[in-house]
Amino acid sequence: MTGLGATTPLGGDVASTWEALVAGRSGVHQLAHAWAQELPCRIAAELAVEPSEVLPRVRLRRLDRSEQIALVAAQQAWDDAGLSDDLDKERLGVVFGSGIGGALTLLAQDDILEESGARKVSPFTVPMLMPNGPAAVVGLEFGAQAGVHAPTSACATSAEAISWAADMIRAGRADVVVAGGAEAVIGGLPMAGFSSMKAMSTRNDDPEHASRPWDRDRDGFVMGEGSGALILERREHAEARGARIYAVVAGSGLTSDGYDIVQPDPECRGGGRAMRAAIKQAGIDPKDVGHVNAHATSTPVGDMAEVKGIKREVGDHVVLTATKSMTGHLLGGAGAVESIAAILAIVEGVIPPTINLENPDPALDLDVAANEARKVELNAALNTAFGFGGHNAALLFTKP
């Protein structure tokens, strides 16, 4: 792992996002948009820096918001890794996902179709709404020719992307892979859909305290938008060019629940198997995993099921955190941004806090970095991500 990039509700890059995470700042606000005012959930974590502040105007016109932020994050990661254009592009891959894709483009163009007819529909509609759009845009930007892949597994998407990227390198198909995910669907229909499932918080009058994983008074997740990108690079390739190595993807696990389309398995069996697989592949003792950046979305059932899985597979020594308490739930972008947080926790020796954990759920019997960042020397950290559809991903990062 030689490069990191992100644009999130907490900052327009990794440094500002990390600073806000460690400081325990919430990115959740009330939505001022007219379309939001009649929704059951009128709060969300919108981007701190609009893509229009970073990308040229004509570029923006032809990209869905999810593609715009994928590009922003990927470019940062690319620059951070110090990669140059003379890289062998046939050995460069991309694995970049989105949970939902260009839903806002689809809806906007459908409005144009209804109001003005087919001829007014943008010729860029299809490349903007396709769920592989972020991957394709990132691939084109860097000229990747080893394969451009777009896993789609709801909220596990970008963690799954990192796992696939590591596999691509292990299988010898690429030397460098740009991995990550992006999601930008803060809009009426997606929010109404999640609200109808009763999955979203309705703490509309108190947005900064709405995302409260493991707290007794949690009442659902808060939607966020954002993108995270990571450069995975074959060790010899990185060492040969003297690149800084943040951490190693020592293991990953991908499993499926076979349980329910949206309900988490209350015993976290599938999630637990993913954690076990990641730890096994890394060949380390579970006791050496010092930290888990948990999926914990602030929903009543999911948060506690995951705790059971972590306790069973990793142990009761581990320090948890849920950075969604600050970023909201970035859906397809969550796994990548949270992996970056887990990696920086190893690099910096600091675990960002879980804010709003005022009255822990009585069943929470693991140590959480509650409300204040925790200084801890870490050799290995795990990131978990679970998605609607019963997708489970676990990534184990270790010191280089």
Partner 1 sequence: MALSRDEIREGLSDILEEVAGVNPDDVADGKSFTDDLDVDSLAMVEVVVAAEEKFGVKIPDDEVANLKTVGDAVSYIEKG
Q: Which residues are annotated as catalytic?
A: 155
Least distance in Å: CB of 111 to partner 1?
16
The string of DSSP letters for 352-380 reads PPBTT-SSB-TT--SEE-BSS-EE---SE
**Strand 226-233 relative to strand 176-183: parallel, antiparallel, unpaired?**
antiparallel
Q: Which alpha helices (H) appear in the chain, and where do they start and end? A: 14-23, 57-61, 65-81, 103-116, 125-129, 133-142, 157-170, 188-196, 235-240, 269-282, 300-313, 324-327, 334-348
> Per-residue contact track with partner 1, 315 to 354, x per CB under 8 A?
----------------------------------------
How far apart are the C-alpha atoms of 201 and 354, rounded to whole Å? 17
Query: For partner 1, which is the closer residue by CB, 120 or 235?
Result: 120
User: How many other β-carbons are positioned within 10 Å of the β-carbon of residue 88?
Assistant: 12
Please identify, among the stretches 114-122, 232-240, 312-320, 365-373, the one whose residues bind partner 1 according to the rule CB under 8 A. Answer: 114-122
Q: What distance in Å separates the CA atoms of residue 136 and residue 80, rounded to the nearest whole number? A: 21
Cα–Cα distance measured from residue 41 to residue 23, given in angstroms and rounded to the nearest whole number? 26
User: Nearest distance from residue 150's CB to partner 1, in Å?
Assistant: 21
For residue 287, which amino acid is it?
K
From the list 119-127, 242-250, 281-289, 338-346, the region that binds partner 1 by CB under 8 A is 119-127
Q: Of 62 and 234, which CB lies nearer to partner 1 in the complex structure?
A: 62
Of 130 and 156, CB closest to partner 1: 130
For partner 1, which stretch binds (CB under 8 A), given 121-129, 135-143, 212-220, 309-317?
A: 121-129
Distance of CA 272 to the CA centre of its chain: 19
Of the two residues 125 and 354, which places its CB atom closer to partner 1 in the complex? Answer: 125
Question: Looking at 122, 202, 204, 256, which residue binds partner 1 (CB under 8 A)?
Answer: 122
The first and second tokens of residue 295, run together, are 């999926």
> Residue 223's beta-bridge partner residues?
329
Do 232 and 180 touch, CB atoms closer than 8 A? Answer: no
Q: Is 256 in the site for partner 1 (CB under 8 A)?
A: no
Q: Which of 124, 209, 241, 288 binds partner 1 (CB under 8 A)?
A: 124
Return d(Cα 27, Cα 9) in angstroms, integer.
5
**Which is nearer to partner 1, 34 or 58 (by Cβ)?**
58
Size of the site for partner 1 (CB under 8 A): 9
Task: Provide the token pair at 200.
Answer: 């979203």
**In this complex, which beta carbon is closest to partner 1, that of residue 119 or of residue 375?**
119
Closer CB to partner 1, 124 or 259, in the complex: 124
Q: Mapping DSSP to helix (H, G, I), strand (E, B) and coil, where does residue 164 land?
A: helix
Which of 123, 242, 258, 283 is in the footprint of partner 1 by CB under 8 A? 123
Torsion on CA atoms 140, 141, 145, 149, rounded to nearest 10: -70
Q: Which of 270, 292, 307, 310 is nearest to 380 (CA)?
A: 292
> What is the closest distance, in whole angstroms, from the C-beta atom of residue 44 to partner 1 in the complex?
30
Minimum distance, C-beta of residue 140 to partner 1, in the bound complex (Å): 13
Nearest-approach distance from CB 125 to partner 1, in angstroms: 10
**Among 37, 90, 110, 120, interactor with partner 1 by CB under 8 A:** 120
Q: Which of 38, 119, 236, 377 binds partner 1 (CB under 8 A)?
A: 119
Choose between 55 and 284: whose C-beta lies nearer to partner 1. Answer: 55
- Rounded to a whole number of angstroms, the minimum distance from the CB of residue 123 to partner 1 is 4
Shortest Å distance, C-beta 182 to partner 1: 22
Whole-number minimum distance, CB 267 to partner 1, in Å? 50
What single string gives the DSSP state of each residue in 260-322?
Answer: -SSSPPTT-HHHHHHHHHHHHHHT--GGG--EEE----S-HHHHHHHHHHHHHHT-TTPEEE-
How far from each other are the two terminal CA atoms of the chain, in whole angstroms?
A: 9
Question: Binding to partner 1 (CB under 8 A): which residues in 30-89?
Answer: 56-58, 61
Interacting residues with partner 1 (CB under 8 A): 56-58, 61, 119-120, 122-124
